[in-house]
Structure 1
Amino acid sequence: MAPQLQRAGMLDRVEERLRGLLNDEHRRWRTADTRGAGLIESLAELVAVGVDRVRPVVLLTGYLAAGGDPDGPEAAEAVDAAAALELLDTCTLIRSDVRDNAALRRGIPTLHVSRAAEHERNGWAGDAGRFGESTANLAGDLSLTLADRLAARLPVAAWRIWDELRLERVVGTYAHEAMAAEYLDDPWPGRCISGCDRGCTAGWYAVRHPLRLGGALAGRPDLDVTYDAYARALHAAWRLRGFLDGGPEYDWDAELLREILLEREERGIAERHIRELVERATRIATSSRLATGWSEELTAFAARMAAEKG
């Protein structure tokens, strides 16, 4: 079966796992506490509109490229890990929306905004804004709790990567916030090119950790170094592309820096950096002992991640 079809089949199982988990919790709380069921409904709605499933895709790629059997007993663990990553990402997005006071997420009102509006409509006691933020943070706690429930069943080697991911994500987020507050946050991704930071909030954990998790679940610890090197090159290319194209991580100060620094010649140098990083990731993928067809898939994935938008 073609690599893309193998992964698509497993992604369908991830969707089923997420729906089943949230439906089970909703049924449980609908009879025990209807208010609790409402919180689960809010979380389920946000999870349902997360159509990209980037981290599950990367994890399943790492698993299948390492020779993992899509129908074997380990496949259930890979599905659980992929669902856990999606729930962790949902928690991160909810809390980011509260910090940034964002109005929309995935085309629907953010959770803290919709719950504040509910408070106002019903004329409840207290401050509507604080109620919305508190409810959203609790939904983030719920999402994280469910993610950890799934991850708790993983083999020890995979769970250690999960634990590392969780810690680096929190510390990296704090470092990013602190640097921005201290006016030290530099939009130019030079550190990504010279060597990725641990816990980078802009997506470092979106590639490296999911690939390593997939490799661990497939019983291929020997691929840890390979996946690490591939992810570093790809992440650097992706960050540089985001700067050039004005991705969501790059606001007005990045736009100003682009206008000041990036004349045609400098942009050409940056584009060359991207090509070199993609070529490095490609060399790593093609020289690795991966399952049939997956070196080509990792090569194509790197090209898509770093491709010029628009």
Structure 2
Amino acid sequence: MTTQGRLPRAAAPQEVAPQIQRAGMLDRVEERLRGLLNDEHRRWRTADTRGAGLIESLAELVAVGVDRVRPVIVLTGYLAAGGDPEAPEPVDAAAALELLDTCTLIRSDVRDNAALRRGIPTLHVSRAAEHERNGWAGEARRFGESTATLAGDLALALADRLTARLPAPAWHIWHELRLERTVGTYAHEAMTAEYLDDPWPGRCISGCDRGCTAGWYALRHPLRLGAALADRPDLDAAYDAYARHLHAAWRLRGFLDGGPEYDWDAELLREILLEREERGIAERLIRELVDRASRTAATTALATGWCEELTAFAARMAAEHG
């Protein structure tokens, strides 16, 4: 009797590395943003060529946004929670966060009268220059600022369209994020106007509250949104703790290194407060905060490989920049 050779045993499918999973979803976010803006441009180019110009301005600014910080964070929260990489909802949510971020930047540029954003002229500056070149009626500066405000409105309208069909728990977090970002930005501007804004990130180190736009909007809400999209409400407390520790480390690093939010008053405060010994204490505090964030990740039930990725992410966020 002849014996039939056994078929080779199928290899177990390899787990896709977290970075590759996220990169694949980020590619889909790019496609979603590009497709959404292209569709709107085609629609308005036929209906109203002037309206199409506003969409062109927004699309140009979105296209040069290479970091995609908010999409990275929401997709990290989603995939770490075990979410399906092929699902469309987290891609829509990540694209919506990028549009919200773009709106925030446009309006911040108007308030600060900034000339450049992401290596190109800010929207209000370029539109004011267009007004002046063409000799149009009215004041060029006001036209530029009004156009920038409308571009921000357009970005918000498109972001809300993308999130309209999110599951109810995720949509509520999105709505909360939108409101707190707006109110928190006003509170920050009011404190600055009243000479009450303190560049030392003491509030962040002791624990961000609801008025901290950077901590809640930049890290906590996107992580929670990702968990909600993956149907993991049990991760709320862990993501909250991780975000608070990491955000404090990131803000302290920004203060020490003189990031874009830390202008001359922060530089003066650094010169007054931070001798070599004090800077060493601050560096140790950063390491301690990163360790706390890492311990939180290590003791949380996350998808394979994502505890390590959240630990590495924390280290990158708080790393010293030379």
- TM tier, smaller: over 0.9
The one-letter amino acid paired with 1:57 is: V
Contact 1:202 1:249 in 2 (8 A): no
1:204 aligned to 216, 225, 242, which one? 216
Percent of residue pairs identical = 89
> C-alpha deviations, 1:54-96, integer Å up to 9, x for none?
000000000000001112xxx2000000000000000000000
Residue 27 of structure 1: aligned partner: 42
**Residue aligning to 1:42:** 57
Q: Which runs of 5+ in 1 are unaligned?
A: none
Distance in 2 (CA, whole Å) between partners of 1:108 and 1:204 is 29
Structure 2 residue 68 is the aligned partner of structure 1 residue 53: yes
Aligned mates of 2:57, 2:212 — CA distance in 1? 28
Aligned equivalent of 2:188? 176
Contact 1:155–1:217 (Cα < 8 Å) also in 2 = yes
1:200: how far off? 1.9
> One-letter code of the match for 2:209?
D
Paired residues for 1:249-288 under 5 Å: 249-288=261-300
- Number of the residue aligned with 1:134: 146
Retained in 2: the 8 A contact 1:39–1:139? yes
Contact 1:64 1:214 in 2 (8 A): yes
Is 1:8 aligned to 2:20, yes or no?
no
Name the CA distance, whole Å, in 2 between partners of 1:164 and 1:201.
12
For 1:53-202, what aligned pairs fall within 5 Å after superposition? 53-71=68-86, 75-202=87-214
Deviations 1:139-161 (A, max 9, x none): 00000110011111111000000
CA distance in 1 between partners of 2:68 and 2:215 (Å): 13
Q: 1:198 offset after TM fit, Å?
A: 1.6
C-alpha distance in 1 between matches for 2:272 and 2:182: 33
Contact preservation (8 Å) 2:208, 2:215: no
Q: Is residue 124–residue 144 contact of structure 2 (8 Å, CA) maintained in 1? A: yes
Q: Matches of 1:179 and 1:139 in 2, distance apart?
A: 26
Q: Deviations over 1:172-203 (max 9, x none)?
A: 10111111111110000001000113242335
**Whole-Å Cα distance in 2 between the matches of residues 66 and 201 of structure 1?**
24
Q: Distance in 2 between matches of 1:128 and 1:197?
A: 40
Aligned equivalents of 1:287 and 1:302: distance in 2? 15
Q: Which runs of 4+ in 1 moved over 6 A?
A: none
| Secondary structure of the corresponding residue to residue 97 of structure 1 | helix
Task: Find the aligned partners of 2:230 and 2:90 in 1 and give their Cα distance.
Answer: 8
Match of 1:202, SS state, is: helix
State the Cα distance separating 1:204 from its structure 2 match.
3.4
**TM-score between both structures, scaled by the size of structure 1:** 0.98
Pairing of 1:291-310 with structure 2 (within 5 A): 291-310=303-322
- The aligned counterpart of 2:11 is none
TM-score normalised per structure 2: 0.94
* Structure 2 residue ranges without an equivalent (≥5): 1-15
Q: Which amino acid aligns with 2:244?
A: R
Separation in 1, partners of 2:208, 2:218 = 13
What is the identity, as a one-letter code, of the residue corresponding to 2:17? A
